[in-house]
Structure 1
Amino acid sequence: MFAAVPATAQIPTPASVLGFEPGADFQLATYEESVEYFQLLDASSDRISMMRAGRTSEGRDWWIALISSPENLASVEQYRDIADKLAHPAELSDSEAQSLSREGKAIVDVNGGLHASEVAGAQHTIQLAYELVTDESPRIAAIRQNVITVLWPSLNPDGQTMIADWYSSNIGTPFEVSSMPWLYQKYIGHDNNRDAYMLNMIESRVLARTWQEWDPQIIYVHHQSSPFPTRIWLPPFAEPIASFTPPIMARTVNTIGMTIAQMLESRGMPGAVHMGTGFDAWYPGYVDYLPMMQNQAA
C-alpha cells in the first residue's frame, strides 16, 4: 500500500517548491501549490503517504496525508482497525479495551481549517508536514513513533485557491486587504461549519466519512480569531455547552485547548484566545464539534 522511500532521501523544503516560506508576508499558497509540495514530500520520504479523500464541489481532488514512522505506516490498517474497535466498544470487555489501547497508536486529525479567509491554517499545514517528516528531535521522533497524524492540507481547497488568487491579484492596490466579493465555498461560504446535522454539502460528507473511516481520537480544526493581534482560537468554549455533549469529552477538549495555549505562552508566542470570546458550543450542527457526540475530542 505504501511505497518504500528512504526517510534519508533528499527532502525538499517548502520554500524550494513554493518560492517563499509559508507565512511570508504578501504570499499565499494556493491549494494546488500546497498539494504539489505534499506530493513531493511523499515521493521523498517513507514517513508520509498521501491518500485521496474525495472531491470538492468544484471538482478538485481532495487529499489527506498520513504521517508517522515507516513501521506504523506499514501497519496502518491494523491500527485503523484497533481505533475502530475502540470507537465502538460495545462488544469489548474492559480488559480487551485496555489491551487494544496499549497495542494501538493515537490517531490525530489536523487540518488547515474550514474558513478560507482565515488564511494561516492552510499555510501552516505545509510547514507542519515538513517538520513532522524531517525533524529528528526526541519530541517529534516520539510523535512519529506513537501517533498517526492525519493531516489535511486544507478543509476548504476551493476556498483556499480563491482567496489566494484574489489576494495575489490585488497586492499593491487599494483592495489588497478587502474581502473577496463572492463566497469562498460554493453555495455556503462561511456556513460550511454549520452543516453537520444535514450534510448537504459534498465537503461535509467527505469529512464525515473520512472521520468515520479513521476514528481519530483528536480532531483539530484550525480557526483564526480577531481582533488583531490574536491569531488562534482555542477551547475552552464559552457557555452554554450543547446539552448532549458527554461531560468527559467537554473536559477533554478543554484540557487540550489549554495545554496548547500554555505551550504557546511558555514559548513567548501570544495571540491565542479562548473562553469568553463568544464562541459557545450550544449549536449541535458545527462540522468541527459534532464529533464530540461521537467520543472524538474536537
Structure 2
Amino acid sequence: FLYICLFVVACWAVLAACAATLAVVHAASPLGPSDRPEAYFNGSSYIRLSRPISLKQLVGLSFRTCVGGELFSQRFEGYTLHVTALFEQVVVSWARPSQPHREVGLAKETLDNRWHWVGLRYNSDPPSLLLEVDKDTQIISNVTWNPELLSPGALEAGGAVLLVGNVFSGCILEGPQLEFHAATSQIRNVVFGHCPLTTDECIDRKDVLRIQPKDHCYNEPCMRHGTCISRHDRYECHCTARYTGNNCEVDAGDPCASAPCQHGGRCVEEPRGSYSCACPAGYHGAYCELEESLDPQCVAGPCHHNASCSVPPGADTYVCACPPGAYTHLFIPRT
C-alpha cells in the first residue's frame, strides 16, 4: 500500500510539473482559438500577433462595423503602416524616418453593419501594391508612385509590432497573414466567437470616425501623371500623353515617338509625361499645324507686338495669340 501511495504521489508531481511547463509555454506564446476565426472588438481591444506581415504576400481580413477604426497596423521604430476604416472610405497610411506621412484612400462606405473585405495585394509584373475593398481596387504604390512601399525594409523586421483591431469597434474575421489561431503575444478585451452585433441598420452613429467631406483628388489617385477631376462621389483622371489607365498607372512610352509635331516642330517631353511642340518660324499651334501666312487675313500682319495670327477652321475672322506680357486683346493697336 505504501508503494502504491508513493507511486500516485510521484505521478501527480510529474503531472503538475508538466502542467506548469505547459502554462509557461502558453504564457510565452498563446494560441488563439483555431475553431473561432471571428472576434468582437469593443474599441479598447486588440490582438498582437507574433509574426509580422509581409507586403509581398496577400494580407487582409473581413470586418463588420457601424463605427470603424483601425483594422490592422504594423510598426518598427520609425516605420509605420496603418489600414483604417473611416466614414465613406478606407485609408492606407504610412511613414518612414525623415519622410513625410503619406496616405491613399479608396472611397467606399463600409460603416454599414455589413461584412466587407479589405486587403493589400502585391503584383510582381509590373511591381505594384493594391488596396482592395470588396471588389474595388486602388493602386497605392508602383515603381513611379510611392515606390517606398515596394521595399518596406525595416517595417517587416522580426521585432515589428503587428496589431489587429486596435481602436476598432465591431467584428473582425481573420484572413491571410492575420490569423487568430496563429501564435500571439498579447490579447486584450477580445471576445472570440460569432459576431454579437445585431443585424439592424446603423442609425445613431454619433461616435463614428468621420472626416470632413473632402476632395476625392486629395490623395493624388492619378499618381501625378495627369489631371484629377473630383466629382460628387468619385474622381476622374485625365492622363498626360505618356500614361493611360483609370489611375494613369500604365506607362505607354515616349509621347514624342509618334512625331506629333508638324512642319519640323521639335517635340519636348515634360516631367509629368505631357509634351509641347517648339515650332519653327512661320508656324504655331499645339502641333505646329497652323501656318501664319496660309490665310489671306493674316498676310497683312494684323497682330502686333509679336503676336501670331491664325484663322481657326470654319471661322471667318483671324485670332491673335498674344505673347506673354501685358497684351491680351484679340486686336492689339499699334503704338
TM-score, normalised to structure 2, is 0.23
Give the strand-richer structure, 1 or 2: 2
* Greater Cα radius of gyration, structure 1 or 2: 2
Larger helix percent: 1
